């Protein structure tokens, strides 16, 4: 099969790496890819948001399967476009991708299906939202309705912060149209967990659990980012939570979508808060997580390609998924300043030394090859994953690999998976 992977992050490098191990993968293209994917796939200089050009490329090159990494092209309808062009693509249609692309749509669906989630109110008028703030107990969470690169969620510990978040989102349009409507949600306490599922209509296969570290700094301080590290399996996950997830969350969600005539086909990943009263949905994502994918795929023993095909074809139930019982820890190396302003173009050294370590995979994200050197080209630069017999063994190995790699103003968290019980 000829495969096209859309995107340029660590998640896409991990997907390409795993798919390249499939005996059915004949040729792999990444659009636009990064310096890591260039080593073993063919990078194509087409942006993940240029849907028409991607479809033309897929047609001209007789691509058998396109796998879409990021949320934006899914929300913009890339799968609808590919399907109309008789091209096979892994990911939900535009209407199914609304579970992630509109927090209001997701909340309304959860409410209708009685799916456990935080209490919330939706607003399209800023004055009304501001008035509501006057009678709130803090902290609360203010969320832009649409996609905002993982930055559209603000924890407001007091009324002043809430007012300025509402003003920036709704009046100053700091997230463009994504923040014209907002959700004000109760602040949930607990620990987070990401569970991925391959879904076709009402059929699904859960993948192993993972935990992300969203905040920029050690000790969960600093602003929210796309994710600074992950580990799998999650130490706060168990069989009881899994059966609650299936019966109280996944099954009612898929039923609710089907009731509206929407068949979800692709990867669904609820972000959960495990509270003292059970799991609560923070959000639904309609694609693989980043950096969770970099921790999950090295643990996946089964061939990924037939699983993606079975998700599209609706014969998932014929497959079992095999996992490496070892744990995986992924540490993200970022450019200092991320998720705010940062510099790029710094030379990266030590990648080969890190990759030589046993059970280590170095996934590239914001990297670019310039004159034979690998340079930084984004906020999140690399995701370094190690496997180990315990989480702590995987963690030591991951940090050993990280210590081999250098670039100016490199920032990473020192506490990924720290204190997670084995």
Residues that bind ligand AMP (CB under 6 A): 118, 141, 143, 153, 185, 187-188, 192, 214, 224, 271, 282-283
Q: Kindly identify the residues of this chain, within the stretch 175-234, that bind ligand GLY according to CB under 6 A.
A: 212, 227
Is 365 buried (19+), middle (13-18) or exposed (0-12) by CB count in 10 A?
Answer: buried
Task: Give the Cα separation of 52 and 113 in Å (integer).
Answer: 36
CB neighbour list of residue 157: distance below 8 Å, 6 or more residues apart: 138, 139
Q: How far is the CB of 223 from ligand AMP (least distance, A)?
A: 11
Residue indicated by tokens 């170095």: 362
Determine which residue in the list 292, 328, 366, 388 makes contact with ligand GLY, applying CB under 6 A.
292
Dihedral of alpha carbons 228, 46, 98, 239, sign: negative
Contact of residue 218 among ligand AMP, ligand GLY, none (CB under 5-8 Å per partner type) = none
Contact of residue 12 among ligand AMP, ligand GLY, none (CB under 5-8 Å per partner type) = none
Q: How far is the CB of 263 from ligand GLY (least distance, A)?
A: 23
Q: How far is the CB of 18 from ligand AMP (least distance, A)?
A: 25
Is residue 285 a contact point for ligand GLY (CB under 6 A)? yes
CB neighbour list of residue 260: distance below 8 Å, 6 or more residues apart: none
Q: How far is the CB of 180 from ligand AMP (least distance, A)?
A: 17
Residue indicated by tokens 């014209």: 180
The answer to whether residues 249 and 273 touch, using CB atoms and an 8 Å cutoff, is no
Q: Which is nearer to ligand AMP, 141 or 420 (CB)?
A: 141
Task: Give the Cα separation of 14 and 187 in Å (integer).
Answer: 33
Q: Which is nearer to ligand AMP, 61 or 164 (CB)?
A: 164
Strand partners, 279: 274
Is 163 buried (19+), middle (13-18) or exposed (0-12) by CB count in 10 A?
Answer: middle
Residues in contact with ligand GLY, counted by CB under 6 A, come to a total of 6
Q: How far is the CB of 188 from ligand AMP (least distance, A)?
A: 4
Q: Which is nearer to ligand GLY, 10 or 256 (CB)?
A: 10
Q: How far is the CB of 6 from ligand AMP (least distance, A)?
A: 21
Q: 323: phi > 0 → left, psi -120 to 50 → alpha, else beta; which?
A: beta
**Region binding ligand GLY by CB under 6 A among candidate stretches 180-188, 288-296, 375-383, 400-408:** 288-296
Q: Which is nearer to ligand GLY, 196 or 375 (CB)?
A: 196
Contact of residue 386 among ligand AMP, ligand GLY, none (CB under 5-8 Å per partner type) = none
Tell me the C-alpha to C-alpha distance, in Å, between residue 19 and each of 3, 71, 203, 216.
9, 20, 23, 30
Q: Which is nearer to ligand GLY, 208 or 290 (CB)?
A: 290
Q: How far is the CB of 224 from ligand AMP (least distance, A)?
A: 6
Pull the structure tokens for residue 205: 């296969």
Contact of residue 227 among ligand AMP, ligand GLY, none (CB under 5-8 Å per partner type) = ligand GLY
Of the candidates 331, 322, 306, the residue with the CA atom closest to the CA atom of residue 400? 331
Q: Which is nearer to ligand AMP, 141 or 354 (CB)?
A: 141
Task: Give the Cα separation of 419 and 151 in Å (integer).
Answer: 27
Q: How far is the CB of 284 from ligand AMP (least distance, A)?
A: 9
Contact of residue 208 among ligand GLY, ligand AMP, none (CB under 5-8 Å per partner type) = none
Contact of residue 185 among ligand AMP, ligand GLY, none (CB under 5-8 Å per partner type) = ligand AMP
Q: How far is the CB of 23 from ligand AMP (least distance, A)?
A: 37
Contact of residue 290 among ligand GLY, ligand AMP, none (CB under 5-8 Å per partner type) = ligand GLY
Q: Which is nearer to ligand GLY, 153 or 262 (CB)?
A: 153
Alpha-carbon dihedral angle through residues 283, 286, 289, 293, given to the nearest 10 degrees? 140
Contact of residue 132 among ligand GLY, ligand AMP, none (CB under 5-8 Å per partner type) = none
Measure CA 160 to chain center.
31
Q: Which is nearer to ligand AMP, 321 or 418 (CB)?
A: 418
Residue in the shown chain whose Cβ atom is closest to ligand AMP: 283
Of the candidates 16, 38, 93, 78, the residue with the CA atom closest to the CA atom of residue 263? 93
Q: How far is the CB of 71 from ligand AMP (least distance, A)?
A: 11
Binding site for ligand GLY (CB under 6 A): 212, 227, 285, 289-290, 292
């Amino acid at each position: 099969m000829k495969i096209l992977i859309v995107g340029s992050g660590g998640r896409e490098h991990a997907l390409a790496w795993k798919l390249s191990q499939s005996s059915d993968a004949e040729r792999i293209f990444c659009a636009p890819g990064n310096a890591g994917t260039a080593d073993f796939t063919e990078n194509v200089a087409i942006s993940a948001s240029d849907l028409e050009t991607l479809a033309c490329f897929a047609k001209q090159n007789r691509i058998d399967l396109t796998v879409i990494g990021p949320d934006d092209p899914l929300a913009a309808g890339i799968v609808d476009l590919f399907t109309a062009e008789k091209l096979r693509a892994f990911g939900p249609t535009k209407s199914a991708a609304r579970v992630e692309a509109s927090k209001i749509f997701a909340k309304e669906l959860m409410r209708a299906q009685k799916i456990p989630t935080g209490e919330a109110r939706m607003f399209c008028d800023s004055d009304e939202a501001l008035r509501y703030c006057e009678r709130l107990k803090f902290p609360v969470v203010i969320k832009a309705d649409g996609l905002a690169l993982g930055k559209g969620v603000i924890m407001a510990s007091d009324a002043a912060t809430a007012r300025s978040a509402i003003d920036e989102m709704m009046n100053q349009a700091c997230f463009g149209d994504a923040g014209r409507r907002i959700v004000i949600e109760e602040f949930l306490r607990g620990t987070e967990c990401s569970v991925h599922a391959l879904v076709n209509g009402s059929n699904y296969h859960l993948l192993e659990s993972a935990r992300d570290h969203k905040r920029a700094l050690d000790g969960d301080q600093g602003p929210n980012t796309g994710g600074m590290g992950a580990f799998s399996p999650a130490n706060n996950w168990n069989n009881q939570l899994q059966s609650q997830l299936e019966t109280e969350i996944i099954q009612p969600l898929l039923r609710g979508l089907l009731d509206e005539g929407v068949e979800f086909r692709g990867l669904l990943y609820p972000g959960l808060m495990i509270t003292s009263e059970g799991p609560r949905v923070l959000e639904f994502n309609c694609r693989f997580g980043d950096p969770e994918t970099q921790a999950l795929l090295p643990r996946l023993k089964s061939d990924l390609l037939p699983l993606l095909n079975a998700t599209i074809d609706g014969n998932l139930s014929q497959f079992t998924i095999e996992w490496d019982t070892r744990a995986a820890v992924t540490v993200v190396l970022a450019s200092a300043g991320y998720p705010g302003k940062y510099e790029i173009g710094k030379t990266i050294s030590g990648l080969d030394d890190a990759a030589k370590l046993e059970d280590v995979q170095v996934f590239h994200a914001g990297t670019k090859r310039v004159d034979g050197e690998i340079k930084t080209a984004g906020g999140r630069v690399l995701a370094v994953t190690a496997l180990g017999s315990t989480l702590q063994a995987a963690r030591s190995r991951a940090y050993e690999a990280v210590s081999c790699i250098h670039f100016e103003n490199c920032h990473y968290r020192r506490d990924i998976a720290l204190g997670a019980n084995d």
